[in-house]
Structure 1
Amino acid sequence: MNKLTPGTALTLKIARKADFGYFLTDGTEEVMLHKSEASKVHDENEAVEVFLYQDHEGRLAATETKPKVRLDTLAWLDVAGQNKKYGVFLNMGIKKDVLLSKDDLPHDWELWPAVGDKIYSGLKLDKKGRLFADLATEEEMVEQAEAAGPEQHNQVLEGYVYKQNESGVLLFTDNQFIGFIHRDEMTRKLRLGEKVSARVSFVREDGRINMSMKPRKEEAYSEDAEAILHYLRKNKGQMALTDKSAPSEIEETFQISKAAFKRAMGKLLKENKIVQEDGKTFLKI
């Protein structure tokens, strides 16, 4: 690997000036520092600390702007754009964004990061020496993670999706816990890099946490019961549904399972708010 490598930060000497910038050298190779990338006016032979990257023409270039990430570091980078042909672009803190290749992204475009999402990433060079974003490995996530304690149970935490698999997604929370949301505990599909709010449903012995986007059963009963009451009030205090109704009819009306409907109906019956007669449910209050 040559010393003048994209993705690295180093100190170079100004070999000579030009109208449009400065030619920097390490004694063997030269690289251009454009005036728009310089922090101030420089003199010949002055030592300048720069970051090397590839410009929009693919040429090696230098900037005095400090990047958020280098070849030997990792950082949370904001998603700046998306191109279905190539992948997504991440803001690494300089004028030029870095590409996270579609080869490192899910096959389903709906699961790709959107503008504003965050990706924990490093940088890498491909076989042609081109600079790309490099997703952090599971080992690198574990290295910076903290162990959760039992006091986190039932707490609602926020975090970013950093890994997807057939079973669900892995989150890195704001307080540096690693959380897992099983697909059965999701209320919708989650993108890579998306910020998610979820409840801690279980704290494992290794300090990782299982999480759920669904409300606790007690809260779900209450929400479903309120939905049934609202429906009854809007329909003159009655509906042609009972806890004996077909699951398809219940789901079509309330978008919940028959089991959830029966739990909510049981709550309302126990509270003496409804009565069921002749295949119908009537509001009592």
Structure 2
Amino acid sequence: MHKKKKREPQLAATGSLQAGMTLTMTVARKTEIGYFLREGNDEVFLHEKEAHERLHVDDEVEVFLYHDHENRLAATMDMPYVSMGEYGWLEVVDVSPRMGVFLDNGIKKDLLLFVDDLPKLADEWPRPRDQILVTLKQDKLGRLLAKPVTEAEVTKIAVPADESMRNKQVEGTVYKVIAAGAFLLTEDDHILFIHRDEMVGRLRLGQTIRCRISYVREDGRLNGSMKERKEVQYGEDADKLLRYLINRDGAMPYTDSTEADIIREKFQMSKSSFKRALGKLMKERRVEQVDGWTKIIRRDDEK
């Protein structure tokens, strides 16, 4: 039995019509399942499921052109959230490890953000319900794809921040991930960079988070941190150590000389955080280190 030869998809534009166009066309004729629309000498099919109402010959309708699931140029009366030449945030609806991620652009056929335009690491890929800032582009066969926002375009969109933003909590969405960290656009359209050292977990493209502004640059861009300010964190860690000591009758066999892996296992904090917290308590004369032990310093009225 001979295999049927696979036919190459015919994706070329019909005359001057191309996917991504929004235009007004005239109903040329009706069929059992839809309508043929005409623009000059060009025709395209509008399925009845893509029409918002019953149409008649010579009616004029505004449509958006795209390639349907059989790779034919087709029309829909649904309007896209993002059109050719525009940028906008689109929601991720599905993820394909082989192809990329699919975005909801307001029409029945989802828009593909191709794998080549996504981060190399899988855990930096968007997840369903994340938001991606994209525009439209065509591949070599004329099919519509999503194109991530460029740095030049973000610069046009962005609003410079001022020094009053320092230490404020803001919400932002990741639009680019690099080895050193992630770039976000805040809810007020400020550009924000978070270095990997200032993350509490790896950020992914399209993820929306809240963070603290740690620095306002001269050009109006922001640096952010997902961690508490050091003085706040030191205080929380110090309180944690003090509670531990109280629960052990005021003494524990751990000091600033204890190995890092033991500190992390016992207190779920780094050796440096442990030493800072312990240093804070010692400076306040609340604890002391004696013969490899850390002990609470009792006041006279507590002895």
Q: TM-score range by the shorter chain?
A: over 0.9
Percent of aligned pairs with the same residue? 47
**Which of 263, 266, 273 is equivalent to 1:250?**
263
Query: Which letter maps to 2:27?
Result: I
**Which of 222, 225, 249 is equivalent to 2:238?**
225
C-alpha distance in structure 2 between counterparts of 1:195 and 1:20, whole Å: 42
Question: Which residue of structure 2 lines up, in the alignment, with residue 151 of structure 1?
Answer: 164
**Which of 126, 142, 154 is equivalent to 2:139?**
126
Superposition map of 1:113-262 within 5 A: 113-235=126-248, 237-262=250-275
C-alpha distance in structure 2 between counterparts of 1:6 and 1:30, whole Å: 13
Question: Which residue of structure 1 lines up, in the alignment, with residue 47 of structure 2?
Answer: 34
The CA deviation string for residues 61-92 of structure 1, in whole angstroms up to 9 with x for no partner, is: 11111110112211110111100010000110
Question: Which residue of structure 1 lines up, in the alignment, with residue 112 of structure 2?
Answer: 99
C-alpha distance in structure 1 between counterparts of 2:118 and 2:244, whole Å: 43
Q: CA RMSD in A?
A: 1.7
Question: Which residue of structure 1 lines up, in the alignment, with residue 7 of structure 2?
Answer: none
Query: Which letter maps to 1:205?
Result: E
The answer as to whether partners of 2:91 and 2:132 remain within 8 angstroms in 1 is yes
Question: Which residue of structure 2 lines up, in the alignment, with residue 278 of structure 1?
Answer: 291
TM-score (normalizing by structure 1): 0.94
Q: Return 186-195 or 228-237, whichever deviates more.
A: 228-237
SS of the aligned residue for 1:248 comes to: helix
**Which of 69, 74, 78 is equivalent to 2:82?**
69
Q: Structure 1 residue 25 and structure 2 residue 51: aligned?
A: no
C-alpha distance in structure 2 between counterparts of 1:119 and 1:66, whole Å: 19
Question: Which residue of structure 1 lines up, in the alignment, with residue 281 of structure 2?
Answer: 268
C-alpha distance in structure 2 between counterparts of 1:148 and 1:82, whole Å: 35
The answer as to whether partners of 2:172 and 2:186 remain within 8 angstroms in 1 is yes
Greater Rg over alpha carbons, structure: 2
TM-score (normalizing by structure 2): 0.89
Q: Structure 1 residue 16 and structure 2 residue 32: aligned?
A: no
Q: Return 154-163 or 225-234, whichever deviates more.
A: 225-234
1:7 to 1:231, Cα distance in 2 relative to 1, 3 A: farther
Question: Which residue of structure 2 lines up, in the alignment, with residue 109 of structure 1?
Answer: 122
1:235 to 1:58, Cα distance in 2 relative to 1, 3 A: farther
Q: Return 226-235 or 23-32, whichever deviates more.
A: 226-235
Task: Give the CA deviation at 1:239.
Answer: 2.6
The CA deviation string for residues 97-127 of structure 1, in whole angstroms up to 9 with x for no partner, is: 1000001011111100001111110111111
Task: Give the CA deviation at 1:35.
Answer: 1.4
SS of the aligned residue for 1:127 comes to: coil
Task: Give the CA deviation at 1:5.
Answer: 1.0
C-alpha distance in structure 2 between counterparts of 1:251 and 1:158, whole Å: 31
Unaligned stretches of 5+ residues in structure 1: none
Task: Give the CA deviation at 1:277.
Answer: 2.6
Task: Give the CA deviation at 1:237.
Answer: 4.3
1:30 to 1:240, Cα distance in 2 relative to 1, 3 A: same
Task: Give the CA deviation at 1:235.
Answer: 4.6
